[in-house]
Structure 1
Amino acid sequence: MLDQWDGRSLRTFLTVMEEKNFSRAADKLGYVQSTVTTHIAQLEKASGKKLFDRLPRGVEPTEAGAALARFARQFAALSLALEEDLLRTEQPRGVLKVRALEAYCVTRLPDLLASYAEQYPDVELQLSTGFMEDICSHVLEQKDDLGIVPRDPEHESLVFEPLLVEELVWVGAPGGRAGGKQVYISYGNACLYHELGESSLREAGYAVHDRRSFPSVELIKRMVQSGFGISLLPKVNVEEELRSGKLIAIDFPVPQPVHQGFIYLKGKQLRPAAAAFIEWVRSGLSS
């Protein structure tokens, strides 16, 4: 089967996976649509399997397509690593995909991203946000090179490198209720902070009157400031509001600090861009 595969067809396949549309994939690759169709047909012939279901508004991978995607991403990563090795350069280059918690991105990364981009102009850094489970999933499926997660996922296929200890704090509006029934504001059930907050309230015997989720740390803070409810957040996210008196720290049971860290696929050699990013963030946080 090996002699029937080629790099261009696999690249086309991965682009169709990302775009979920033959026409958009062709535009992104600079091909005419018939070329994309031909590449996918070649792969389907080589594998003997249908790789995509054609739907009214695009395409979805079949079970065989999803299986091929895992190997195609490994092929693409190996190809890029080989290219960099053959160029015999340690200068980071290429696309680097990183996924982290939104709360972490807002406070910890902006200045570091700007200085990293200036230091390594040949790296196209693509930053995305997500929760613990999907960050791990994206790294495992090699959709992202690195993840930043709030604790060690203890997964046999992932390496976890500790980065920093993150303190958490309960916050509410000045003059708000400090006991009794509470409206608990968080990112929702997918977020580790939500889980930790629920557990600590329950163990302390506090009743949660209602739960509301919002998609960003800034919106959560605004809702808490309005007196709508309380929230458990990383202390770094609310330091300014606590100093200015817009929020107050609530004397509720606080979970143990979380240990933020990088994750990447075990057994996969880090490309120079990824290794440089880990060192850049680590150095920036310690300075």
Structure 2
Amino acid sequence: MFNEWDGRSIRTFQAVMEERSFSRAADRLGYVQSTVTTHIAQLEKASGKRLFDRLPRGVEPTEAGLALARFAEQFAVLSQALEDELKRSEQPNGVLRVRALESYCVARLPRLLAEYAERFEAVEMQLSTGFMQDICERVLDGRDELGIVPRDPMHDGLIFTPLLQEEMVWVSAPHERGERHRKSAYISYGNQCYYHGVGEQLLREAGHPALAQMQLRYPSIELIKRMVQAGYGVSLLPLVNVMDELHTGQLVQLTLPVPEPIEHGMIQLRGRQLRPAAAAFAALLRRGLVD
């Protein structure tokens, strides 16, 4: 019996019960009267019972109609509860795990994270830092829902959405101007970092193999900058991360070759729909809410 019922017919039945009229129920629901008649006929056929007595001035429920009315009310309550629950589940909530380059997090995400936290208090943001390969691996195996990487990984399992072009510069301490940088070390995050490989190749192509070989590796953008400021070497870094130091003279820009602007982008697992929390964060990223 239940398989032959549907929500529209139940709602029509309730409207007829309350209005005691097919025509008034039709007006209330925005139907033509024949639609109301059809819905009630479907219920009567499915139940095998007459649900309304047709009177000269409207209708009155039969005993079967009164019995169905009690269950129709429960149906309406459950339907509303389900609708409310689905709406609640569509709101950003739960834990959101995002992984990105440390230099990107420091320079690009503070304002966005503050905006996100203020708007979506029910979300627990877990932001971690990493490098190109492990960011891709963590998104692929589901440990992180979103990643931010410095280039398109060109992986069939990932969707890459470009976010911004990152200009890179070579920097050194002020006293490292001119030819002094030839005797310095190449300071970077190390082999795992995409910037490191780009910088090493540029140094070799520019005729500085010794500088490319003498390397100092540090885990954070701030420590790299401090070591460069102290005169230990040179580094290839995003311009946005060193603008203040260049402006105040704590660092100087070298004339070594630089790469084309690096295209940072967001990655997500192909074929997996983003949860509301991740979709909201991705929307902020695409809108460019950055410092």
Structure 2 residue aligned with 1:140: 140
Contact residue 172 and residue 253 of structure 2 kept, 8 A: yes
* In the alignment, structure 1 residue 199 sits paired with structure 2 residue 205: no
After TM superposition, the runs of 4+ consecutive aligned structure 1 residues lying more than 4 A away are 83-86
1:29-61 superposed Cα distances (whole Å, 9 cap, x missing partner): xxxxxxxxxxxxxxxxxxxxxxxxxxxxxxxxx
Q: 1:208 aligns with which of 200, 207, 210?
A: 210
Distance 2:155 2:215 in 1: 30
Structure 2 residue aligned with 1:187: 189
Cα shift at 1:182: 3.1
Cα shift at 1:91: 1.6
Structure 2 residue aligned with 1:152: 152
Cα shift at 1:282: 2.5
Cα shift at 1:250: 0.3
* In the alignment, structure 1 residue 230 sits paired with structure 2 residue 234: yes
Do the aligned partners of residues 84 and 228 (structure 1) sit closer, same or farther apart at CA in structure 2, a change above 3 Å counting? Answer: farther
What letter corresponds to residue 95 of structure 1 in structure 2?
Answer: V
Distance 2:172 2:91 in 1: 47
Do the aligned partners of residues 91 and 199 (structure 1) sit closer, same or farther apart at CA in structure 2, a change above 3 Å counting? Answer: same
Contact residue 181 and residue 206 of structure 1 kept, 8 A: no
Structure 2 residue aligned with 1:113: 113
* In the alignment, structure 1 residue 258 sits paired with structure 2 residue 262: yes
Do the aligned partners of residues 204 and 85 (structure 1) sit closer, same or farther apart at CA in structure 2, a change above 3 Å counting? Answer: farther
Structure 2 residue aligned with 1:36: none
Contact residue 163 and residue 262 of structure 1 kept, 8 A: yes
Percent same amino acid at aligned positions? 60
Distance 2:264 2:219 in 1: 20
TM-score (normalised: structure 2): 0.67
> For structure 1, which segment, 159-168 or 179-188, has the greater mean C-alpha deviation from structure 2 after superposition?
179-188
Distance 1:206 1:125 in 2: 43
SS of 1:208 mapped into structure 2: helix
SS of 2:176 mapped into structure 1: coil
Do the aligned partners of residues 85 and 276 (structure 1) sit closer, same or farther apart at CA in structure 2, a change above 3 Å counting? Answer: farther
Cα shift at 1:278: 1.0
Cα shift at 1:151: 0.3
Do the aligned partners of residues 225 and 234 (structure 1) sit closer, same or farther apart at CA in structure 2, a change above 3 Å counting? Answer: same
Do the aligned partners of residues 286 and 172 (structure 1) sit closer, same or farther apart at CA in structure 2, a change above 3 Å counting? Answer: closer
Distance 1:198 1:268 in 2: 37
Q: Which runs of 5+ in 1 are unaligned?
A: 1-82
Distance 1:162 1:253 in 2: 24
Distance 1:85 1:240 in 2: 50
Cα shift at 1:173: 0.5
1:140-186 superposed Cα distances (whole Å, 9 cap, x missing partner): 01000000000000001000000000000000000215333431000
Cα shift at 1:216: 0.3
Distance 2:262 2:254 in 1: 19
What letter corresponds to residue 205 of structure 1 in structure 2?
Answer: G
Structure 2 residue aligned with 1:103: 103
Distance 1:175 1:283 in 2: 40
Contact residue 171 and residue 249 of structure 1 kept, 8 A: yes
Give the structure with higher Rg (CA).
Answer: 2
Number of aligned residues: 205
1:14-37 superposed Cα distances (whole Å, 9 cap, x missing partner): xxxxxxxxxxxxxxxxxxxxxxxx
Structure 2 residue aligned with 1:220: 224
TM-score (normalised: structure 1): 0.68
Q: 1:267 aligns with which of 244, 268, 271?
A: 271
Give RMSD over aligned pairs.
Answer: 1.9
Cα shift at 1:88: 2.8
Structure 2 residue aligned with 1:129: 129
Distance 1:177 1:143 in 2: 45
Contact residue 108 and residue 290 of structure 2 kept, 8 A: no
Structure 1 residue aligned with 2:44: none
Contact residue 182 and residue 207 of structure 1 kept, 8 A: no
Contact residue 181 and residue 207 of structure 1 kept, 8 A: no
Distance 1:84 1:143 in 2: 30
Do the aligned partners of residues 84 and 155 (structure 1) sit closer, same or farther apart at CA in structure 2, a change above 3 Å counting? Answer: farther
